[in-house]
Structure 1
Amino acid sequence: MKSNIIKFFFPVVMLFAFVACDEWTEIESLDIHRPTLEEQNPELYAQYMQALRDYKARDHKIVFVSVDNPSTAPSQRSEHIKTLPDSVDYIVLKNPADVHPTLVAEMSLVREKGTRVLYTIDYDALEARWAQILEEEENNQPEESETPETPDESDGDEGEELQPDPAVVLEQRFLDFCREQTALQLSYCDRYGFDGVIVACTGKNYSGMADDVQARYIARQEAFFGTVGAWYGTHAGKSLSFCGKPQYLADKSILAQCDYVILPAIDVQSVSELSLVLVQASVAEVPADRFVIQVSTVSATDPTDETGYFLGLDEDGKSRLRAVKAAAQWTLAASDGTKAGLFIADAQNDYFNISMVYRNIREAISIMNPAPKNR
């Protein structure tokens, strides 16, 4: 579970494991106090925490997890970020606009373990919201009057003003909207004390676009990433990562400032497809030393949802192969690009396990960062 620190703190790790196994059956309303390791043995706990931070400071496979945090107070253990495995490097909250004070306090707790808490700003979501705004405006427009227009009796063209191109005006409105909304979402970082942001953009292959369409595509990305770049210039101590298809960025210079380049692969169904995602991203000007592949957990509520599974069976020949495990094993295979680690989406789905909470996430961490063997 803790990779290199297990060897030295095995009793502590086992204590945490047994406590974690029971937590998901607890009733939240019961006021039962169980002494923590910090209370029982502060010195040993301090040594464990230092070993954990040292482990994360060393070279290892990075682990991101995202959680669907509620805006209300957490009502079950899976909604608390402090219950996530200690070896997780980054926790990504999916609802950054309204973080409950309970989770704000827990952000400080996990930070003591060397874990950083981030959130995502998604350009695609901004475009989708803009389309909704335009649709709402169109639906709210008054019907055109049937009264005939009065002819303009002014002499010639004297005093006539050229009207701006409506398409140009509309596009400028979007650019202003994009900058405003991006700046608003960036402000959450200071408001709640996040450790940084992930900027997401899927993008398109713009090389074959018509000149005017390509110019609009580039201008829109400049509005988004330019706002992010200006913010990062005053927040250099914060973490910045990119998520999406880096090969479709018109200006890839921002990637040099990013700690990691996260490649979404939630929809793939095989290891070979993971490799294809990596190959497609490995183009000129994209740093190949910081790739993180993103897969998902299996749904905890919908048995018909295929997300989180790969085709084929696990090593036991009976269980379905989970994307989390297969991707963890894939990160260890040699490739042209550096496989820096794994991003596991919707970690809360993996909490409820009868043998161990977050069992599949813990297994993935152990696969990528195995404990050293005695020689």
Structure 2
Amino acid sequence: MKRINRLSLWGTMLLVGLFVVSCNDWTETESVPQKTQRPNEQDPELWAQYIAALREYKQSEHALVFASFANGAPVATSEKDCLRSLPDSLDVVSLTNADNFSEYDREDLTVLKEKGTRAVYFVDYASRSAEFTDLTALGAYLDKVVARTRELGLDGLSFSGIPVFGSYTDQAAQKAVASLFIEKFAAVAGPGKELLLLFEGDPQFLTPADRSKVDYFVLDTKETDNATDLKLQVLRALSAGAVPCNKLLLGAMTEYEFTDEDKGAADAISALTIRIPEIGPQPLAGLCIYSVNADYFGAEFIYPLTRQAIQTLNPSK
């Protein structure tokens, strides 16, 4: 039986079991306690079987789906602010507000770990470079990030950067910053290490030697709105960036429109999802969905585009 069938079977059995439990006494009117019971509390054995199948899927070879999540909400307005409500089959979540990791995030992290979803501490240097013009200050901050990652029990580190193609002085300054990130982060994370190391942006921010110290690259295609530009970005990453197909993910943003080769329009997540297997000489590693919180609300189920992307990329897993 294919793994997706097994995973769906456990999920269906879990839902049916919960339905039966909730409907068992409909014939009589009686007051009931208003205590919420989560699935793992209602049928622990079935839940354990589902979790085992889920973790087996994540450890298998499959197309990856990451998400960029705005954590740290001081007050959750709905489940869209809660890590626990992310799709179970999501592989990695990048925490965009990890500096303000909340107690709610800490509680939900336990749920992610049970499901085998990895959470990484994201440092958005591309948009925060003005804060870190001093290398000593940046180095001290990165040391704190590494320490905090270990303290929280997160599963890895991620950072962004924009290549500079200006003067020699500008390029030298950029190389010093990139080298510092690798010095601090690759010491504890990356291929062969306990923690995962991601880079989000143009791979040419890093030197060729340093690129080998990164597990996965998320190409900055989240605002790319047409097929021609997308192909050029991927070609550049694979050739000039020398990033292998199996380490490259495309970035797509919720509520963003994409124009295909025939001038047809579609949502960017769906459009980029179908290109993962075919846009390179070999299938790319997967997709990263940005602003995933905005995809929470769906007419029939939560995170509709994210779930559709996972299922489309892994139809037989």
Which interval holds the TM-score relative to the shorter structure?
0.7 to 0.9
Alpha-carbon displacement from aligned partner over 1:192-219 (angstroms, at most 9, x marks no partner):
221111121121236xx43x44433333
Q: Which has the larger radius of gyration?
A: 1
**Equivalent residues of 2:186, 2:214 under 8 A apart:** no
Of 195, 212, 216 in structure 2, the residue corresponding to residue 256 of structure 1 is: 212
SS in 2 for 1:276: helix
Residue 16 (structure 1) shift: 11
Structure 2: where are the runs of 5+ without partners?
20-32
Instruction: Indicate yes or no: 2:247 matched with 1:290.
Output: yes
- The answer for the alignment partner of 1:274 in structure 2 is 230
Letter in 1 for 2:86: L
SS in 2 for 1:8: helix
Residues 346 and 213 of structure 1: CA distance in aligned 2, closer, same or farther (over 3 Å): closer
CA distance in 1, matches of 2:122, 2:16: 34
Letter in 2 for 1:229: A
Instruction: Indicate yes or no: 2:145 matched with 1:185.
Output: yes
Alignment of 1:194-343 (within 5 A): 194-205=154-165, 209-210=167-168, 212-232=169-189, 236-249=193-206, 251-283=207-239, 286-288=242-244, 289-298=246-255, 308-311=256-259, 321-333=266-278, 335-336=280-281, 338-343=283-288
Moved more, 240-249 or 341-350: 240-249
Alignment of 1:3-152 (within 5 A): 3-12=4-13, 32-130=34-132
- The answer for the alignment partner of 1:350 in structure 2 is 295
Residues 114 and 262 of structure 1: CA distance in aligned 2, closer, same or farther (over 3 Å): same
Residue 256 (structure 1) shift: 1.8
CA distance in 1, matches of 2:253, 2:88: 19
**Equivalent residues of 1:64, 1:344 under 8 A apart:** yes
CA distance in 2, matches of 1:311, 1:286: 27
Residue 337 (structure 1) shift: 5.2
CA distance in 2, matches of 1:16, 1:117: 30
**Equivalent residues of 1:68, 1:348 under 8 A apart:** yes
CA distance in 2, matches of 1:109, 1:70: 16
CA distance in 1, matches of 2:248, 2:148: 26
Residues 74 and 313 of structure 1: CA distance in aligned 2, closer, same or farther (over 3 Å): farther
Q: How many residues align?
A: 299
Moved more, 363-372 or 79-88: 363-372
CA distance in 1, matches of 2:59, 2:7: 16
RMSD: 2.9
CA distance in 1, matches of 2:6, 2:211: 32
SS in 1 for 2:233: helix
Moved more, 57-66 or 221-230: 221-230
Residue 311 (structure 1) shift: 2.6
Residue 343 (structure 1) shift: 0.3
Alpha-carbon displacement from aligned partner over 1:228-250 (angstroms, at most 9, x marks no partner):
233449x931111111111242x
- The answer for the alignment partner of 2:28 in structure 1 is none
Which structure would you say has the larger RCO, counting Cα contacts within 8 Å and 6 or more residues apart?
A: 1
CA distance in 1, matches of 2:257, 2:287: 16
Residue 286 (structure 1) shift: 3.0
Moved more, 174-183 or 78-87: 174-183
Residue 223 (structure 1) shift: 2.7
Residue 352 (structure 1) shift: 1.2
- The answer for the alignment partner of 1:171 in structure 2 is none
Residue 267 (structure 1) shift: 1.4
SS in 1 for 2:9: coil
Residues 63 and 16 of structure 1: CA distance in aligned 2, closer, same or farther (over 3 Å): farther
Paired-residue identity, %: 26
CA distance in 1, matches of 2:145, 2:189: 13
Letter in 1 for 2:239: V
